[in-house]
Chain A
Amino acid sequence: MRSPRPTVLWLLFTLAACAWLGWSLARPRAAVFLPGPSSDGHHQIEAACHLCHTPFAGVAQEACLDCHAEELERAGDSHAAAVFSDPRNAADLAKLDVRLCVTCHMEHQPEITAAMGLTLPRDFCVHCHADIADERPTHMDFAPATCASGGCHNFHDNRNLHQDFLARHGAGGAATFEGSLPTGEAWIAVDLGERAPLSAVDADSPGNAAPELAEAWASSAHAASGIACSDCHGGGADWSDRPRRDVCASCHEAESTGFLAGRHGMRLAADLEPMSPADARLPMRPEAASRTLDCGACHEPHGVDVRVAAVDACLECHADDHSTAYAESPHADAWQAELSGEAAPGSGASCASCHLPRTETRLGGAPRIVVQHNQNDNLRPNEKMLRDVCMNCHSLAFSLDALADRELIRRNFRGQPARHVESVDMVPSLADGP
């Protein structure tokens, strides 16, 4: 019997390889096609190539903006693409086309990827600002690579770093004072109408429901607001033991939107399997590896004690130095004093106080409290948390120094800043004295 010709074998191999690659591409997790590890910001969704890549057209700018446009607008983007669309910037754009995200943020290149996904050398500002010392002699001795590394400037978000803000908030004052963070119940956008508070006897769950669940519900904010079991679980034949996330979002829309925009919910936003601590790049507790992240991961769905979600829920998973140092931090002491009633509401600082802060906003002219559930919203760069968080209890100068001190952050702010951010000293009105 004659052996198959090499050409036939080659064709069979090629067909098999194509079939395998095609099958892989059609699967939700097309990891085989990854050209390299993704940045920290995108690794959770790296197997969903279509989120960023357009077939045969590379990475479209719109793909970046689909997720990041709203945040950039809110940040008052200092380098917004529309600013540079004016043709007078053509010479600058020839050096660095900052209208395109991929100019500074390339993916799958871990060897050149720095914090915040930056893939340019850190002195990239010099391309357009080489003559900054002519305008501001105070900048004469600064190395170009330090513009964004010293707590002075960010490329996109300078809301808390611009000169007027420093001038208004930077002068003198105690490093720490008796302030308080926003308190109060989060605002629900949905009009629930007039509802009487409910108690345990009002539980309309099926007869086989665990009594401890009804008991927990009866003492919750849900029962106090007249939300019955069937409002979340469905009534009669529609009863579901595990309501979908959409049910939570139907009342807690702002919280859900924030959750889906952050590291905890971005996979769900992309229709992928929920994030799990096992897939995290930060150190996590081994016993939490099999958990998955949805609303119920942090909020016990019947008790709904937000104090649990503020610290305990975080530390059930997070095991990095900053997290494990929290218990010994001055923030934790203040939080415990607040919980025990020894200190005023808002005087303590939980994990959520900083990473999922209560923010005051104005909707329809009335002040409202909204809990930001995107844990990344005020990080990267961390100066984003100055205004809504730190400066409620600390001076601007102290806060800038603390946020620039990586070792102090690792110790969860136990101690004093060892760094000093000079920008406050450079503001003309402050340098010249009152």
Chain B
Amino acid sequence: MRLRTPFPPWTSRGVVSALTLAAVVILNGAVTACGGSTEATGSPGIPPEAMADAIHHVLESDRTVYARHVVNRLQDEEGVIAASEQWEDDRALPLPAQMFRMSAQLTAEKTDRVSYALLSPWPINSRNAPRTEAEEAGLESVAADPSKPFYGTETLGDTEYFTAVYADIAVSPACVTCHNAHADSPRDDFELGDTMGGVVVRIALD
């Protein structure tokens, strides 16, 4: 049987589910507007760049809220509960990056029109290294200029995607400390403000 945390559900899976639900509602509505409503409304639709930017705003905001008002508050300020990579074993909060990946997985269960991932040229898990040409070019681009997103298109399988990459900046000491100390991290010299990787957003075009 799964061990249950003694803390209310909003502290872990509940938060992930709620944030994911909000994101999916927004994404689904926006993607519909982006792709198919021209005839009904006369609207020209949303350019994929604007769509990807909007999705990224939601993702970034959700993660910031979770990091600031759940993890940072409960772990660092009030000392109520720790955050841990092994959050189930430790009956702890998932790390913000884990929350992000879990919500990406839940979204993948709901739609194949939009996907997102947190990648890095220096990943702790090698599966999160760039794997496509667009991912490689995008991560290189945002590392060189974090203020400017990378946009491109690519065909994966038999589907064409609009792919956007946004810089993922080390905004908290916890990000830097964890990545520098992790046994599987290929880098141990991250500093606050460094670009640690990128958020990749994909939108199916056909």
- Give A contacts to B, CB under 8 Å: 74, 76, 80, 82-83, 85-91, 93-94, 135, 163-165, 167, 359-363, 365, 370, 372, 428-429
Contacts and interface: CB of A to CB of B under 8 A. Distances in A.
Contact of A163 (B5, B6, B184): B184
Given A88-B135, A429-B183, A82 B108 contact: yes
Contact of B202 (A87, A361, A429): A87
A88 B183 contact: no
28 contacts: A74-B1, A76-B88, A80-B105, A82-B108, A83-B105, A85-B108, A86-B117, A86-B202, A87-B159, A87-B161, A88-B132, A88-B156, A88-B200, A88-B202, A89-B131, A90-B159, A91-B131, A91-B156, A93-B157, A164-B85, A165-B86, A361-B1, A361-B2, A361-B4, A362-B5, A363-B4, A365-B6, A372-B1
A94 B132 contact: no
Chain A: interface secondary structure? helix
B156 A90 contact: yes
B55 to A, nearest CB: 14
Contacts of A361: 1-4
B202 A362 contact: no
A94 B155 CA distance: 14
Contacts of B2: 74, 361
A324 to B, nearest CB: 31
Contacts of B156: 87-88, 90-91
B72 interface: no
A89 B184 CA distance: 22
Interface of B: 1-6, 85-86, 88-89, 104-106, 108-109, 112, 115, 117, 126, 131-132, 135, 156-157, 159, 161, 183-184, 200, 202, 204
Contacts of B132: 88
Nearest to A76: B88
Given A80-B105, A359-B1, A88 B117 contact: yes
Contacts of A165: 86, 89
Given A86-B117, A88-B131, A370 B1 contact: yes
Nearest 4 pairs of A and B residues by beta carbon:
A90-B157, A85-B108, A90-B156, A362-B4
